[in-house]
């Protein structure tokens, strides 16, 4: 269930970002994060580095896209709860 929730949250994150408009740099960052999250979810790899990176994105969203920040926070919380 948690794997599906992470993927669902990433979809919501992308939808919200599209609504607010993103620059090419942020879009690339989200693509990379999406790839990393899917790899961790699929393989069960350690999530520590991914969570740290996601927290950096969350800080960026807080200043540039505050409405999107909550989706990023949910992604982080769900990954941590999965205990990967």
The pLDDT of residue 83: 65
The pLDDT of residue 15: 82
Across the range 11-32, mean pLDDT stands at 78
Q: Is the pLDDT of residue 13 over 60?
A: yes
pLDDT in tens, 22-76: 677 777 877 888 888 888 878 877 788 888 888 888 887 777 777 777 878 888 8
CA distances from 41 to 19, 44, 61 (A): 26, 5, 23
The domain locations on the chain are: 2-82
Q: Which two three-digit tokens encode residue 78?
A: 């769900």
Q: Is the pLDDT of residue 17 over 70?
A: yes
The pLDDT of residue 64: 76
């Amino acid at each position: 269930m948690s794997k599906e929730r992470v993927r669902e949250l990433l979809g919501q994150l992308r939808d919200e970002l599209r609504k607010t408009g993103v620059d090419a740099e942020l879009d690339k960052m989200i693509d990379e994060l999406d790839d990393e999250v899917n790899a961790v979810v699929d393989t069960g790899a350690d999530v520590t580095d991914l969570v740290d990176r996601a927290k950096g994105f969350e800080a960026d969203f807080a200043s540039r896209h505050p409405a999107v920040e909550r989706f990023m926070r949910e992604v982080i919380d769900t990954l941590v709860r999965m205990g990967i």
